[in-house]
């Protein structure tokens, strides 16, 4: 087992928005040991790095990334740690695709994450942003998260993590390695039925077939950002090839040649309109990465 190195990589290929300039180096470690070796090396050379999951909640700027990009695609194991009649404890590595984990849960008849059906990205990204929908959240099933902090691997138990709405509470983690998840035993039929219902709901209300980064803004307390954007008359607004979706106003779509600068411009336009209409300051949910220099 080694490590794959890719040089001069256009990041748009790694983001669901299909936007993002170049990174000089992308590293794909094939094992946790390799990853820890890479982190040691980067630390000793004082080279900054960022971790990218499925790139489904990020806007990578047009000037690209100065940092080394680490992708954990190969760290995608799911192991059963403990099991009894009611519950199953799993350890899932951060690079596991969230939907591949959900397929596993469906096969095994395990309940707890059905509402996350259809959310792209990795388990690592879902933990960092506490991804959720339909009253389900990633952190609901977490018992502990394994992270690298200050160069050391730590298993942090749930009660020490200050998570909340779209906040995993893992900001001081340099890398999220994986998590212990507790799921309830159920029948494959019931789990499958719920997953199907949530996916149908998602298909009806979100432009899931088009390039986007999911919700651009967080919901202000007690309100829906999408609704405010819609009521402020922003649906269909554009900057270049970026458009406020007509299906769900909190999704901005890349119509093909969209750029990060257009995306940021449209975010500003929408924030201004919503503020003028409702005196509400929208806060970004997406993570903006990189430099603006072309």
Ligand X SMILES: Cc1cc2nc3c(=O)[nH]c(=O)nc-3n(C[C@H](O)[C@H](O)[C@H](O)COP(=O)(O)OP(=O)(O)OC[C@H]3O[C@@H](n4cnc5c(N)ncnc54)[C@H](O)[C@@H]3O)c2cc1C
Active site residues: 166, 215, 285
Phi, psi at 141, each rounded to 5°? -105, 0
| Contacts of residue 282, Cβ cutoff 8 Å, sequence gap at least 6 | 217, 218, 220, 225, 228, 229, 270, 271, 274, 275
User: In the set 58, 142, 228, 253, which binds ligand X (CB under 6 A)?
Assistant: 58
Choice between 29 and 129, CB closer to ligand X: 129
Helices (H), strands (E): how many in the chain?
6, 17
Contacts of ligand X in 79-108 (CB under 6 A): 94
Closest CA to 179 of 149, 139, 132, 152: 139
State yes or no: residue 280 binds ligand X (CB under 6 A): no
User: In the set 25, 36, 42, 50, which binds ligand X (CB under 6 A)?
Assistant: 50
Residue 276 CB, nearest approach to ligand X (Å): 27
Handedness of CA 203, 205, 208, 213 (dihedral sign): negative
CB 123 within 8 A of CB 101: yes
State yes or no: residue 112 binds ligand X (CB under 6 A): no
State yes or no: residue 169 binds ligand X (CB under 6 A): no
Choice between 27 and 72, CB closer to ligand X: 72
Three-state SS for 81? strand
Residue 174 CB, nearest approach to ligand X (Å): 7
State yes or no: residue 57 binds ligand X (CB under 6 A): yes
Choice between 111 and 226, CB closer to ligand X: 226
The crossing angle, in degrees rounded to 10, of helices 98-108 and 188-205 is 150
Which stretches of the chain bind ligand X, using CB under 6 A?
16, 50-58, 72, 94, 119-122, 124-126, 128-129, 131-133, 173, 175-176, 206, 208, 212-214, 287
């Amino acid at each position: 087992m080694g490590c794959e190195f890719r040089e001069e990589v256009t990041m748009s290929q790694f983001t669901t928005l299909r936007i993002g300039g170049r990174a000089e180096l992308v590293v794909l470690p094939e094992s946790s040991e390799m990853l820890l070796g890479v982190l040691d090396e980067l630390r000793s050379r004082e080279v900054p790095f960022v971790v990218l999951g499925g790139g489904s909640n990020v806007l990578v700027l047009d000037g690209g990334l100065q940092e080394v990009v680490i992708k954990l695609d190969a760290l995608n194991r799911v192991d059963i740690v403990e099991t009894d009649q009611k519950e199953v404890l799993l350890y899932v590595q951060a690079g596991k695709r969230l939907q591949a984990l959900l397929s596993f849960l469906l096969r095994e008849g395990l309940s707890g994450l059905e509402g996350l059906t259809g959310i792209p990205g990795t388990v690592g990204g879902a933990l960092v942003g506490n991804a959720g929908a339909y009253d389900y959240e990633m952190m609901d099933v977490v018992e502990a998260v394994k992270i690298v902090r200050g160069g050391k691997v730590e298993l942090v138990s749930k009660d020490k993590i200050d998570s909340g709405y779209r906040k995993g509470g893992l900001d001081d983690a340099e890398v999220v390695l994986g998590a212990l998840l507790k799921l309830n035993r159920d029948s494959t039929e019931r789990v499958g039925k719920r997953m199907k219902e949530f996916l149908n709901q998602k298909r009806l209300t979100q432009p899931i077939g088009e390039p986007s980064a999911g919700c651009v803004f967080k919901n202000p307390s007690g309100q829906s950002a999408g609704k405010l954007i819609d009521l402020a008359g922003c649906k269909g607004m554009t900057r270049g090839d970026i458009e406020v979706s007509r299906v769900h106003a909190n999704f901005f779509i890349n119509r093909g040649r969209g750029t990060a600068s257009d995306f940021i411009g449209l975010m500003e336009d929408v924030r201004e309109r919503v503020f003028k209409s409702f005196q509400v300051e929208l806060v970004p949910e997406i993570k903006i990465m990189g430099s603006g220099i072309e």
